[in-house]
Amino acid sequence: MAPINDGTARTNDEIQALDRAQQGLADQTARLSQTQKQQIAAAEAKLDTAPTATTSGPDGGLGELPKAPTGISGLDEVTGGGLPRGRPTLVCGPAGCGKTLLATEFLFRGITQFDEPGVFVAFEETADDLVANVASLGFDLAKAERDGKLVIDHVSVSRGEMEATGDWDLDGLFLRLGAAIDAVGAKRVVIDTIETLFGAFSNTAILRSELQRLFGWLKEREITAVITGERGDGTLTRYGIEEYVSDCVIVLDHRVNEQTSTRRLRILKYRGSLHGTNEYPFLIGDSGVSVLPISTLGLRHSVSKERVSTGVARLDSMLGKGGFYKGSTVLVSGTPGTGKSTLAAQFCDAACRRGERAMYFAFEESESEVIRNMSSVGVDLRQWVDAGLLQFHCFPSMGLEAHLFTVQKLVRQFKPAVVVKDPISSLLRAGTGADVAAMLTRQVGFLKSNGVTSLFTSLNSHTEPGRQDQQLASLVDTWIHVQSMVGNGEHNRTLYVLKSRGMAHSNQIREFLLTNEGIELADFYVGSEGVLTGSARQAQEAQEQSDGRVRLDDLEQRRVSLERQRESVEAQTAALWREFQDEADIVGVLLSRGSGGVEGRAGRRAAQGLLRRADSDTRDHKGYPADIRLP
Amino acid sequence: MSAYETSEIGISRGCQNWHLCLYVAGKSAKYLDAQANLTRLCEEHVHGRYQIEVIDLVEHPALARSEDILATPALIRRLPEPVRKFIGDLSNPERMLVELRLRSSQ
């Protein structure tokens, strides 16, 4: 039994050990499978993320979409290189927002800049109208047509002559378009405006399917197409074309704000590409559309270390050495009547004095007013106007885009070294603060890239720099604030440099004086009585001067009295000296009489004593009295 | 095929004639239907006084532009004046009779 028992015990032990081993193995496999699963999952995740990473990669990997540059200034920057090549793009917006022009420019620049012939399918305008409309922008469509680079196909559609019975399709359009594309080898097609078709055909179900087929067909032929669409009520396009054109959708808009219209552009959608998502203001200038992407404002312009005098010597020295940097932007802000315009005028005057050209944009005064007003402070601007060095442009209220555009055009024509805008705060009437700041950003970029030193004045209602100025703060390089201080029954102007990039400018506040010879800057008096300006400062200066004189007089007096004292001391010394001399002489004489006299006298006294039998106590051993000493 | 496939069934007794141009694109059933529908209508209502031209735009794509054809099949009634344009496979004879003024003339 015992061995059996032993045996069973052993087997039991063995079974337990086996169980444990099995358990261990199971655990191991479980762990293994778990790690394997994790690895597989990780690999799967990698596979999932890998393609998206390449398509959305900004550095342009495998998935980078080929793009057709539009050549429209700013639009290529916003879209990251242009419209999707070989695909249709929808440009939609309300009437008059510039859809047709954008499309035309895309086509025209494609022909002239990128050698990509095009076809314009016009449902709205006739070919002649179209050519005439864009001729003023310098787009010579007629020439492109003659050169065999462009086909303008006007498709007239009107419901009256399009009575539909039964089934139909748009094969006619396809054939027409196909023929036109083949005729010039077109790479770009514009269809303007697709919505017109919906007005012509009552059966929109067929039309929709036909349009879908059209876009598919264009894609198949690798045509970069721009389709324009009218904006609907609450939808992007009136008939929902955006459903069919899904690659790229550009929304145009024009908004009236404070009675001024500003056009805006937004890339609503751009499949497979990064794009700017903001709303960008855009202009229709005399060379077509220009989108103003503020984020892509070229900060590439070269900078100058050259200084431009402000026209006020003291201000030049306040700004370190010599004034503003050439090509920098200066903001002069201040309350009304603080001399901002005068500062601006003197700046122009200094430029003209150097023989440079200056341009003065006045928004609140006429040319003759400015000239008259400035002559009262000794700044003669008339001479420079006559010499052709100074140009005045006085705008009434004008839209921001128009303003921006006009300024650019004038600056390009006149090529001034210095530009003054007085005051930019009046532009706020033409748009909101943000719009104005955006426009100015653009303008500053333009001026800087042309090396123009610009000075803007800005009117504040408060003594502190205003809110609209804060928006400009980062834009400007130098910011001078002029304000008035009221006290002691008068108002005085003060000036300080709030900021000035890249120069060791003064932190002092100066009093700003308008004299008959222009601007002068005076030191501020800061003393125990606080900051003093104007007559108080003059009084203080006079006080100081008179105090000084009194002190001087006092000193002189004390000096004189000291001199006298010295003289008297000298006199006294001389008198004493003489006395002493006399005494010394007498002593000398006495001494010269010799000691014999003394001996004689003493002998005589002793003899007298002996004779008188004087008391013996008083005699010493020699028999002489104690008070007598012999030399 | 010639440029204009003409099916001329004789000219009338001096009163009104119909000159109809049918523009098609290819030979699909839709176009053949349209052609058949038109011929039938004319045969029934203006027998002997009509002329039908069938123009295939696939072969003459330039005509699509010059005739300003957008949708096909398209029917242009050149006579009687004024020139009118219709689209579709002409599968609604009642309406076509009115539109083409085929009935009123009888």
The 10s digit of each residue's pLDDT in A252-268 is 988 776 666 778 888 88
ipTM of the complex: 0.80
Q: How far apart (Å, rounded) are the C-alpha atoms in residues A287 and B88?
A: 44
A85 versus A163: which is more confidently predicted?
Answer: A85
CB atoms closer than 10 angstroms to residue A153: 20
Instruction: Encode pLDDT of A368-410 as tens digits.
Output: 888 998 888 888 899 999 999 999 988 776 677 778 778 888 8
pLDDT at B82 over 90: no
Encode A145-166 in three state secondary structure.
HHCCCEEEEECCCCHHHCEECC
Q: Which two tokens stand for residue A1?
A: 């039994």
Residue A273: its pLDDT value, please? 82
- Is residue A318 within 8 Å of A505, Cβ to Cβ? yes
pTM as predicted: 0.58
Q: Each residue of A277-305: pLDDT tens digit?
A: 778 878 787 777 877 655 445 555 677 78
Q: Give residues with Cβ within 8 angstroms of A171, minimum separation 6.
A: B25, B26, B57, B71, B72
- Note whether A165 contacts B23, CB cutoff 8 Å: no
Alpha-carbon distance of B41 to B106, in angstroms, equals 13
CB–CB contacts below 8 A, A to B: 95
**Coil, strand, or helix at residue B52?**
strand
Give the H or E element holding residue A16.
helix A2-56
Average confidence (pLDDT) over A167-194? 89
Using a CB–CB cut-off of 8 Å, the residues of B that contact A are 23, 25-26, 30, 34, 57-58, 61-62, 64-65, 68-74, 84-92, 95-96, 99
> What length does chain B have?
106
The residues pairing with A421 across neighbouring beta strands, listed in sequence order, are A361, A456
Please check whether residue A420 is in contact with residue A454, taking contact to mean a CB–CB distance below 8 angstroms. Answer: yes
Q: How confident is the model at residue B12 (pLDDT cuts 50, 70, 90)?
A: very low
- How far does B74 lie from chain A, in Å, by closest CA? 8
Confidence category of residue A308, pLDDT binned at 50, 70, 90: confident
Q: Decide: A331 and A458 in contact? Cβ < 8 Å.
A: yes
The answer to whether A175 contacts B99, with C-beta atoms less than 8 Å apart, is no
Q: Per-residue pLDDT tens for A317-375?
A: 888 878 888 888 898 888 887 888 888 999 999 999 999 999 999 888 888 888 998 88
Mean pLDDT of chain A: 79
* Confidence (pLDDT) at A106: 93
pLDDT average, residue stretch A585-589: 92
What is the DSSP code string of A534-564?
HHHHHHHHHHHHHHHHHHHHHHHHHHHHHHH
Name the residue with higher pLDDT: B103 or A509.
Answer: A509
Among the listed residues A342, A358, A515, A518, the one whose alpha carbon sits nearest the alpha carbon of residue A422: A342
For residues A102 and A173, the answer to whether their CB atoms sit within 8 Å is: no
Q: Give me A25's structure tokens.
A: 């193995």
Across the interface, whether the CB atoms of B99 and A163 are under 8 A apart is answered yes
Q: How far apart are the CA of A419 and the nearest CA of chain B, in angstroms?
A: 54
Lowest mean pLDDT among A224-233, A278-287, A308-317, A541-550: A278-287
Rounded to the nearest angstrom, the minimum Cα separation between A120 and chain B is: 13
Q: Which carries the bigger pLDDT value, residue A12 or residue A248?
A: A248
Instruction: Between A525 and A521, name the one with better pLDDT.
Output: A521
Cα–Cα distance measured from residue A181 to residue B65, given in angstroms and rounded to the nearest whole number: 13
Residues A442, A113: Cα–Cα separation, whole Å: 25
For residue A230, the cross-strand partners are A93
- Written as one letter, the residue type at A39 is Q
Indicate the pLDDT class of residue A169, thresholds 50, 70 and 90: confident
Pick the range with the lowest mean pLDDT from A19-33, A291-305, B5-19: B5-19
* pLDDT tens profile A31-65: 656 666 666 555 555 444 433 333 333 444 445 78
Pairing of strands A67-68, A224-230: unpaired
pLDDT at A560: 92
User: Residues A130-160: pLDDT tens digits?
Assistant: 899 888 888 899 999 999 999 998 888 765 5
Q: How far apart are CA A318 and CA A522, in angstroms?
A: 12
Q: Who wins on pLDDT, A584 or A238?
A: A584
Q: A431 in helix, strand or coil?
A: coil
- Residue A165 and residue B86: Cβ atoms within 8 Å? yes
Among the listed residues A523, A453, A98, A522, the one whose alpha carbon sits nearest the alpha carbon of residue A309: A453
How near does any CA of chain B get to the CA of A174, in Å?
8
Does residue B105 or residue A142 have the better pLDDT? A142
pLDDT at A430: 66
Largest Cα span, chain B: 37
Q: Are A420 and A347 in contact (CB under 8 A)?
A: yes
